[in-house]
Amino acid sequence: MNLTLRQLRAFDAVAETGSFTAAAARLHLTQSALSVLVRELEREMGVQLFDRHTRRVLLSEAGREFQPSVQRLLADLAGAVAGVTELRDQKKGVLRLAAPQLMACTLMPRVIAAYSARYPDIDVRLADTLPEHLLAGVLSGEAELAVGQDVAVDPAVIERRALFRDRHWLICPSDHVFARRRQVRWSELAPYTFIAPTRDFRQRVLPELDAEARELMQRATTQEVSYMTTALGMVASGLGLTVCPTYSASLVKAHGLQMVKLDRPDFHREVCVYTASRRSLSPAAAGFVEMLEQFVRKPGLAG
C-alpha cells in the first residue's frame, strides 16, 4: 500500500468540512484535484471512505474508523516538523561545550551570556577541563564543540578551526620591579621562580625563544601547575612570576596583579574551535561559533 501525505490531508480536510468545495479551498486546490486525491486514496485502500450526497459528504463506516488514526498521524508529523524547525531556528535544544579552566572562567561565560540572551531556550552546558583533556569530550561525543589553545589533532578525527592569535603577557605583583616596565625580555625572568601555568608550557615556549633566553629559562627555577588560577594565586602571594593570555585580563585584575608585555620574542598561541570531523554541527553549535567569531573580533580581546 502506497499512501501519500497529500492524500491523507485531502481525506482529513473533507472529513472535517463535510464538503469537497470547502476542503479544496482550505488546501488551496481545485475541487477536481482534491477529488482525484480522495479517489486515489480509496482505490489504494480498497474501501469507500465517504458517502457522497447531493449537498453533503459524510464519512462511511470505514472512514469513521480511519479518521482518528489520520488525525493522530498528521498531528505527530506537524509536531515533528515544528520540533526540527525550532532546532533550525535555534529556539530550543542543548549545546554542550568544553574549554580549559582558564578560558571557562574568563572568555566563555561572556560569550555564553550573549548567546543565551539571543537564544534563551537553548540550554548551554559548559565543561571545564584540563588543557590536555580538552578534546576528550569531542571524541566521546559528550561535547559538540571544544574551544581552547592549539593542540595537535588527527584531521580525520578532529577538525581544528583557528579563531584568533593571542599574546601571552608576563604576570607579576603590582609592587614588583617589572610592574613599572612597559615590556620585559624573556631572558630577564631567569633570576625569578617561573610558574608554568600548564604542564606542557615549557616544552611549548622554549622552541620559540632565542638561544640566550632559552638557556636562561632552562636554568630558572620552575614550578608547574595544572590550573592558571593556581599560578595567579602563587604570583599574588609573591611565590614567582607567570604568563597568561590577553583574554584572562579580568581574572588577572581580580587577583590584583599586573600584565606586562613580554618581548624577544613575542609569544602568541592560536585559540581554536575543535569539532568532530565527520559530524555536522547542529544549528545551535553553528550559531555559537558564529557569535564566538564576532565576539573575538572586538578590540582589546586578543593581544
Mean pLDDT throughout 229-235? 92
**pLDDT by residue (tens digit) across 265-301?**
777 888 999 998 877 888 888 889 988 988 887 765 6
CA distance 292 to 277: 19
Written out in words, the top-level CATH class of the domain with range 5-88 is mainly alpha
Can 93-164+273-296 and 166-269 be said to share one CATH topology?
yes
How does residue 53 score in pLDDT terms, banded at 50, 70 and 90? confident
Mean pLDDT throughout 46-69? 87
How does residue 97 score in pLDDT terms, banded at 50, 70 and 90? very high
Residues 60 and 49 sit within 8 Å (Cβ to Cβ):
yes
Residue 240's pLDDT is what?
A: 92
Residue 130's pLDDT is what?
A: 82
Question: In whole numbers, what is the pLDDT of the chain averaged over residues?
Answer: 84
**pLDDT by residue (tens digit) across 106-115?**
889 999 999 9
The yes-or-no verdict on residue 220 having pLDDT over 80 is: no
Map out the domains of the chain as residue ranges: 5-88, 93-164+273-296, 166-269
Mean pLDDT throughout 199-225? 70
- C-alpha grid cell, residue 191: 633570576
The yes-or-no verdict on residue 264 having pLDDT over 80 is: no
Regarding the domain with residue range 166-269, which homologous superfamily does it belong to in the CATH classification? Answer: Periplasmic binding protein-like II (3.40.190.10)
CA distance 186 to 44: 82
b/e burial code for range 76-109 (CB count within 10 A of at least 16 → b):
eeeeeeeeeeeeeebbebebbbbbbbbbbbbbbe
Residues 196 and 202 sit within 8 Å (Cβ to Cβ):
yes
pLDDT: is 81 or 44 the higher one? Answer: 44
Mean pLDDT throughout 210-214? 68
b/e burial code for range 263-300 (CB count within 10 A of at least 16 → b):
beeebbbebbbbbbeeeebbbbbebbbebbeebbeeee
Residue 177's pLDDT is what?
A: 93
159 phi and psi angles, rounded to 5 deg = -95, 130
Written out in words, the top-level CATH class of the domain with range 93-164+273-296 is alpha beta
Mean pLDDT throughout 164-192? 89
Residue 99's pLDDT is what?
A: 93
What's the distance, CA 294 to chain centroid?
14
The yes-or-no verdict on residue 203 having pLDDT over 90 is: no
- C-alpha grid cell, residue 109: 561565560
pTM above 0.75, yes or no: no
